[in-house]
Structure 1
């Protein structure tokens, strides 16, 4: 499946009139020849890096040359093999059609002439997207692992009142379905959230029979505590209007926070994890499902969903991924980020020797740690502003419980790690 994606990348570049001679092309020239929309430039840069790593392109100092030609029969054979891979992975036929349509539509996708949403949700239907997030071998296994992690966390709490669950970025409800099955005999206060009202409407229809379900819009990059401030006191059939910031008062009300295939969209992973930690009750559990490998097929399909929206800045991520043209954190990076904001008892599934670990997707569960009293970042910023010259003014302070140690093989002094600022 990844091989078909690589050939489609190369074919798209050739169709744009590139690499038909012996000359070198700069990244800027390639972007211009493709007519790439600015918000998708990072995806094209990923293609160039992937083709170089796989030996199909030669790149030095921002110049690229020698792209291997791809014939139509070779590409057609790769498409047939992609279909065989689709069947082997247990994807439904609709998902196979989606992958093939996306690969054939790369010139139009990169120019923003069509949107990936129109391919993934044809006619407003969610069946194709469910094939990606639910109806395949890896997703079924991982959603079951996430449901088990949530059920285990529910057993560990004091059995008083309803189990308070917040699911963020719930989307088509692929993980929700198995989680609700696992909690079938537990009294629930379950808040299903997403950034899109489209998914909330579909969830109301699908899970309307489940007692204790509520629904709310939630953007993980826009101050979650303020958005959720009135959610707990709202009715069980909360409208999809965006929540006000009136009533939370710093309360950390949730026993479990579930985030499946969404936190990679956070512009700053550490800040978002810290916000989720503060939404949990003492001893509460965070359950994450995340991809940790950037497969080539994703770079020619789902990555188009992750480009900045038209109204957003093109600066990309502001955390450890800054300037790297990547979306997903590695397994080790997630472990360090969770530790840095005070989570403990972190567990990861599947195990590294599990055959499905090759898919590069993992379920992380972690318990909110109770560290020492945290200083107020606002007070520290005010004090720093009074004492520091203007050119050293701090823009933000984050309070964490611990700092991760240096990576193996890096400089022994944590202050001298490459790229430290």
Structure 2
């Protein structure tokens, strides 16, 4: 039986149930809109009301109702409900219809809840995730819509094609990248088909919610990836995939043609794209999952959803391109569409979903034309030196064409892959080759000799400009120490250097700078903002002119040029499914609930039971009766409550409570709004559930009769703690920034032995994100030592990661070398949220510094502002500090205090994130990366 016939029969069997389900959905649409009818789309939106971010969805409702004859539109653009005909469908049919279509029961329950609350969903009084039952596993619930008979057939066909490609390639290892893996519905089927084949599978998504779930449930390598951003800048260089699977994700792209061009660059020569997506609206989905596709509230497109697309959908209410438009965009991106499933013989696709099988072209000279023009008619003389190896023009062209698959050293592969990206991204020769031209115009002297860094896309773009001017390029590793870099500049006689800000600052300050002959060097180009008069003066004293501006990049490139930019982009990508402003608001609400929980504790102890009541700190302490270990914490409570104006000191030394007891007497009332906002912002509420549970035990915790550790690790489990350290926007940002920093640094060090030590690994929430990044690095696996002060956490990590890691005890309050850890033996040390628990951060930082080899990187994630909910929960576990915190009673060092600690230990700054103006900046959670000076 042919595939077309099978598809046709399956479609005929499913279509009656789909039509009925669409009819149920349109009936619910009409009922929701009826109070605002008749009226124009704007009238209806104002009367209901409809949140601005859902107005495009309203227009699609009206189009669907009009197309079905269930609404009519007059010449003035006013809509009204048409007279009903036939039997009126009932939402009670949903369970049976969904079952017949192969959906899990959860989908019928979610859709029923959505139909019951359509007006509230339109007005944003509730979000679709709010309708999930309490403690529902969010990934599974939101992924239920992809688990059905018709999508399942497409997934099976997709899996067969992937397996066929693996068989065709033979014993070699096939590289598969899945874009927007989501709930893993496609992944499961494809992985099953790949059993017995050699493959490297990378599951990617823009949301850490999905990548984390996939890593745990499917045991697959994961990474964050934003289809709207440059793939190479996110760790997926050109030509690094043999097969790309994109199931129900590309309609989310801001510019589908641009994303398809990016996928073509990602694919190796002749690679395969398997694209599953919709080619039009499905009325059923318009009343359920489509609410998740409206721009997030608080985003720049929330007020005008039409502006979020920049391709052919711009200014329209359309989300899904038509089938012909998908195929046109693929063809224009350079793909050849081999097949479409179901094909024309099978008739229209159920629910409008198709699978396209397309292939990228075999790499030819056309792709290298910008580079070929840059190299001109250069003969056999060397035009490039990478890692000491020389390349003439023909060798450069060959290396660029085959960089991802070549046997060149990793540094050369990295450099030539970036050159390929730079050449491929050029829209015109002038755009690509204007890079690094002298400001005074065409060169009149000898051809330039430009020193650039491997792994720096700005350096690769500069190389194109140098070759266009007949010059030569020397590429050196990004991790080259300043003294060695100065020696390289002198040795090769470079006339110009393209450097990131950290090296622009470090080189003139190196002790050997004044002794280095830089007479040939005429200019230094800084690849990121931040260089100022001080740096310009320092370089002019050495001879060259500093251009404190980034070299031009091809239009639309956007590739970050330095490690901090890469980390910032990766961290922001982790937040793309969140509204950071909603996360900030939720954090403030939780903080307020924690403050009121402190007052509730005093209330339970007999204090502040009446409005305007006054109590001295001594009277409060006598009533609360804290254990000796918690007296400092009680004083901190009083300090923050006074600082927030909830307690007001009078002249007699007493503290008056400015809040009415009704505001804090009922903890459920205190924490209810916090839970609602947190869940709406993050999709789950484990943090608030834990904080609320701790709030109910605060008096017993103060007495020492209740263990804070038991609340954080109930029955010895780590699920609660892991949720706390994964759930929030700040946690996601920190983990992914740290992972990007570690990976970027190790890319600079090359493919030899690379070692990472994680201090205070705890529940391994930082570990899992860092490992996902490291597993994608070329070369031998990175040696990773997971340490903690507690064998409990080592056993937990060993159970999760097995032999992938090494494990060891490490107390950050003691000298690591005296605990058996080798001095100067690690490329990177990671400390994720652990040093706030150290007694003396100055001592701990110096200890961790001893573990780093010269030029090694220390990555820290730390809060720098008081966390009120921590004061009312984990604060009972913190030890009394002996550093700068001892003078203030604070739980955490401030940002300035952290800078002083790191500067005092002799580190060079690399990254300090998030930057000023970032939505999460006010929360004070920081990611620091600093480099140990080279010997």
TM-score range, shorter chain: 0.7 to 0.9
1:55 counterpart SS class: coil
2:350 maps to what in 1? 358
1:170 counterpart SS class: coil
CA 1:195–1:61 in 2, change beyond 3 Å: closer, same or farther?
A: farther
Superposition pairs for residues 267-286 of structure 1, below 5 Å? 267-286=254-273
CA 1:355–1:344 in 2, change beyond 3 Å: closer, same or farther?
A: closer
2:32 maps to what in 1? 12
- Distance in 2 (alpha carbons) for counterparts of 1:362 and 1:282: 25
- Distance in 1 (alpha carbons) for counterparts of 2:284 and 2:160: 29
- 1:103–1:300: 8 Å Cα contact kept in structure 2? yes
Matched, 1:188 2:215: no
Q: 1:335 aligns with which of 327, 330, 339?
A: 327
- Distance in 2 (alpha carbons) for counterparts of 1:62 and 1:124: 46
1:227 maps to what in 2? 234
- 2:166–2:198: 8 Å Cα contact kept in structure 1? no
Measured against aligned partners, the alpha-carbon deviations of 1:108-136 in whole angstroms (never above 9, x if no partner) come to 111112212334686351333343212x2
State the 1:356 CA deviation.
Answer: 7.8
2:96 maps to what in 1? 84
- Distance in 1 (alpha carbons) for counterparts of 2:96 and 2:348: 18
Q: 2:123 aligns with which of 91, 98, 111?
A: 111
Matched, 1:288 2:275: yes
- 1:173–1:203: 8 Å Cα contact kept in structure 2? yes
Matched, 1:156 2:154: no
Aligned residues: 354
1:377 maps to what in 2? 427
- Distance in 1 (alpha carbons) for counterparts of 2:78 and 2:337: 46
Superposition pairs for residues 164-179 of structure 1, below 5 Å? 164-179=175-190
State the 1:81 CA deviation.
Answer: 3.4
- Distance in 1 (alpha carbons) for counterparts of 2:433 and 2:75: 44
1:367 maps to what in 2? 359
1:137 maps to what in 2? 149
- 2:177–2:204: 8 Å Cα contact kept in structure 1? yes
Larger helix percent: 2
Measured against aligned partners, the alpha-carbon deviations of 1:164-191 in whole angstroms (never above 9, x if no partner) come to 1111100111111111111111222211
2:226 counterpart SS class: coil
CA 1:226–1:383 in 2, change beyond 3 Å: closer, same or farther?
A: closer
Q: Which moved more, 1:338-347 or 1:60-69?
A: 60-69
Q: 2:48 aligns with which of 27, 34, 40?
A: 34
State the 1:265 CA deviation.
Answer: 0.5
Q: Which moved more, 1:280-289 or 1:78-87?
A: 78-87
- 1:292–1:328: 8 Å Cα contact kept in structure 2? yes
Q: Which moved more, 1:363-372 or 1:55-64?
A: 55-64
Greater relative contact order (Cα 8 A, min sep 6): structure 1 or 2? 1
- Distance in 1 (alpha carbons) for counterparts of 2:95 and 2:217: 30
State the 1:324 CA deviation.
Answer: 2.5
CA 1:70–1:312 in 2, change beyond 3 Å: closer, same or farther?
A: farther
Q: Which moved more, 1:109-118 or 1:173-182?
A: 109-118
- Distance in 1 (alpha carbons) for counterparts of 2:356 and 2:135: 34
Measured against aligned partners, the alpha-carbon deviations of 1:375-397 in whole angstroms (never above 9, x if no partner) come to 5226545899xxxxxxxxxx968
CA 1:396–1:10 in 2, change beyond 3 Å: closer, same or farther?
A: farther
- 1:121–1:128: 8 Å Cα contact kept in structure 2? no
CA 1:270–1:356 in 2, change beyond 3 Å: closer, same or farther?
A: closer
> Structure 1 unaligned runs (5+)?
230-247, 385-394, 399-421
2:216 maps to what in 1? 205
- Distance in 2 (alpha carbons) for counterparts of 1:107 and 1:215: 38
* TM-score (ref. length: structure 2): 0.36
State the 1:283 CA deviation.
Answer: 1.1
1:306 maps to what in 2? 293
- Distance in 2 (alpha carbons) for counterparts of 1:258 and 1:362: 13
2:92 counterpart SS class: helix
- 1:170–1:194: 8 Å Cα contact kept in structure 2? yes
Name which one, 1 or 2, has greater alpha-carbon Rg: 2
- 2:341–2:354: 8 Å Cα contact kept in structure 1? yes
State the 1:83 CA deviation.
Answer: 3.4
Measured against aligned partners, the alpha-carbon deviations of 1:39-69 in whole angstroms (never above 9, x if no partner) come to 1110011112222222222224563143247
Measured against aligned partners, the alpha-carbon deviations of 1:275-320 in whole angstroms (never above 9, x if no partner) come to 0000011011111111223111111111111111232423121111
CA-based RMSD: 2.7
- 1:381–1:397: 8 Å Cα contact kept in structure 2? no
Matched, 1:128 2:116: no
1:66 counterpart SS class: strand
1:155 counterpart SS class: helix
- 1:10–1:68: 8 Å Cα contact kept in structure 2? no
- 1:175–1:260: 8 Å Cα contact kept in structure 2? yes
Q: 2:242 aligns with which of 233, 238, 255?
A: 255
Measured against aligned partners, the alpha-carbon deviations of 1:226-260 in whole angstroms (never above 9, x if no partner) come to 1124xxxxxxxxxxxxxxxxxx4xx3211111111
CA 1:333–1:93 in 2, change beyond 3 Å: closer, same or farther?
A: same
